[in-house]
């Protein structure tokens, strides 16, 4: 059952990132399904402007696009958890919150860190999601670099790339100090 559910989660990845991202526009738009549904139900009087071309839309698209990059390493770690540890905790009288905080999360720490590395590096280099879901009015360092290259401002683009590189390497060093990745691969 776990494998079947895992495969069901991978079905959206059979399409392009751009197609999956653009698919949010008919849902979140001013005349989209969500606004139409809220207006017809009488919950709101006017369309919600913050659903599309906002920070909310960018975060929603990132979650949709990159969830599997976090789920896969955590799933891998959870598959290695010895079920007898959980059963022993239950027999010892632990509740589900205590089992989660004392057994499952510490044993999944490496999967969480590896997933965080994947997500962080992908998000730092992604400029299409911010450009499309932000409506061209939001920016990040990748868009800055893209714009500088488009304007043939190579020194400024190189400076932005160095800042991005140093930031990513610094975060990777910090995250890699938290887990020995050689044991996990």
Say how far apart CA 99 and CA 51 lie, in whole Å. 37
Q: What is the pLDDT of residue 152?
A: 92
Of the pLDDT bands very low, low, confident and very high (cuts 50, 70, 90), residue 170 is very high
The lowest-confidence range among 1-10, 63-72, 93-102 is 1-10
Q: What is the pLDDT of residues 134-157, one digit of tens each?
A: 887 777 788 888 889 989 999 999
The fraction of the chain above a pLDDT of 70, given in percent, is 98
Of the pLDDT bands very low, low, confident and very high (cuts 50, 70, 90), residue 185 is low
Determine contact, residues 129/65, Cβ cutoff 8 Å.
yes
pTM for the predicted model, two decimal places: 0.77
Say how far apart CA 108 and CA 9 lie, in whole Å. 20
Q: What is the pLDDT of residues 80-118, one digit of tens each?
A: 888 888 888 888 888 889 988 888 888 888 889 889 888
Determine contact, residues 147/36, Cβ cutoff 8 Å.
no
How many DSSP H helices and E strands does the chain contain? 13, 0
**DSSP H stretches of helix in 45-153:** 55-79, 83-91, 96-99, 105-107, 109-125, 128-133, 141-150
Q: What is the pLDDT of residue 184?
A: 61
Say how far apart CA 149 and CA 172 lie, in whole Å. 26
Say how far apart CA 106 and CA 101 lie, in whole Å. 7
Please name the residues in contact with 135: beta carbons below 8 A apart, sequence gap of 6 or more.
52, 53, 54
Of the pLDDT bands very low, low, confident and very high (cuts 50, 70, 90), residue 158 is very high
Q: What is the pLDDT of residue 48?
A: 85
């Amino acid at each position: 059952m776990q494998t079947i559910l895992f495969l069901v989660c991978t079905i959206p990845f059979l399409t392009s990132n751009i197609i999956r991202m653009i698919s949010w526009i008919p849902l979140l738009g001013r005349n989209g399904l969500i606004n139409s549904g809220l207006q017809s139900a009488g919950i709101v009087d006017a369309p919600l402007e913050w659903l599309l071309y906002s920070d909310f839309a960018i975060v929603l698209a990132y979650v949709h696009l990159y969830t599997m990059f976090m789920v896969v390493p955590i799933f891998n770690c959870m598959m290695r958890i010895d079920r007898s540890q959980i059963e022993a905790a239950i027999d010892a009288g632990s509740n589900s919150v205590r089992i989660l905080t004392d057994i499952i999360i510490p044993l999944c720490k490496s999967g969480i860190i590896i997933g965080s590395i994947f997500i962080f590096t992908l998000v730092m280099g992604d400029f299409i999601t911010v450009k499309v879901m932000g409506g061209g009015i939001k920016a990040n360092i990748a868009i800055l670099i893209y714009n500088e290259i488009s304007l043939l401002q190579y020194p400024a683009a190189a400076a932005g790339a160095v800042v991005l590189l140093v930031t990513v390497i610094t975060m990777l060093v910090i995250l890699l100090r938290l887990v020995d990745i050689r044991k996990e691969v």
